């Protein structure tokens, strides 16, 4: 067992984990943050996407021990004071989901995308979401949601 300390959604944790524990297992099974989903478990679908030190990563392709000392943000930490993040609102209003399984990963990746590129083209959004698979929507409304959220954030509105 290894003892690691990390911040998850601004809260400090010290946990004992086996070396082989994946970051997603730490989040879901040890910390009970089940908003992060396991879709494929082969690091292809992106449903498990979280931020590690502000960058989106697939938490099924990273060991928990690698996150020692890091700040992790999950979908539970994106909204504040019970208020949805503009990206979450845009997924809602643009109907950017159907079954919703891929949505937490989509929202985390898409939010990092518009932070780094506040005014993306449709092509840049599609390229930026290549690591997130959705089997329901055909992506059109997801792309629309990301562009809408980018516009909202640029306008300073919440």
N-terminal to C-terminal alpha carbon distance within the chain: 44
User: Using CB under 8 A, which of 71, 131, 139, 151 touches another protein?
Assistant: 131
Q: What tokens does 38 get?
A: 């396991």
CA 117 to chain centre: 17
CA dihedral of 85, 89, 95, 96, whole degrees rounded to 10: -20
- Of residues 33 through 92, those in contact with another protein by CB under 8 A are 41-44, 46, 49, 55-58, 60-63, 65-66
Shortest Cβ distance from residue 109 to another protein (Å)? 6
Which residues in the chain belong to E strands, given as ranges? 2-8, 11-17, 49-52, 55-58, 71-73
- Segment lying near another protein (by CB under 8 A), choices 15-23, 72-80, 90-98, 135-143: 15-23
- Give the nearer residue to another protein in terms of CB position, either 28 or 109: 109
Radius of gyration of the chain (CA): 15
Residue 103 makes contact with another protein by CB under 8 A: no
Shortest Cβ distance from residue 62 to another protein (Å)? 6
User: Using CB under 8 A, which of 77, 86, 104, 128 touches another protein?
Assistant: 128
What is the strand order of the sheet 55-58 is part of? Answer: 11-17, 2-8, 71-73, 49-52, 55-58
Interface size with another protein, residues (CB under 8 A) = 29
Sites of contact with another protein (CB under 8 A): 2, 18-20, 22, 41-44, 46, 49, 55-58, 60-63, 65-66, 109, 112-113, 128-132
């Amino acid at each position: 067992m290894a003892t690691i300390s990390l911040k998850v959604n601004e809260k400090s944790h010290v946990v004992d984990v086996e070396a082989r524990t994946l970051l997603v297992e730490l989040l879901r099974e040890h910390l009970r943050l089940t908003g992060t989903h396991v879709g494929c478990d082969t690091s292809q679908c992106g449903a498990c996407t979280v931020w590690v030190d502000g960058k989106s990563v697939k938490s099924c392709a990273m060991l928990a021990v690698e996150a020692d000392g890091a700040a992790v943000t999950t979908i539970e930490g994106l909204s504040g004071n019970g208020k949805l993040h503009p990206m979450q609102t845009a997924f809602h209003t643009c109907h950017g989901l159907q079954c919703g399984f891929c949505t937490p990963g989509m929202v985390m990746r898409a939010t990092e995308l518009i932070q780094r590129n506040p005014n993306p083209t449709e092509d840049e959004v599609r390229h930026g979401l290549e690591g997130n698979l959705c089997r329901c929507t055909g992506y059109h409304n997801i792309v629309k949601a990301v562009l809408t959220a980018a516009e909202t954030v640029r306008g300073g509105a919440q």
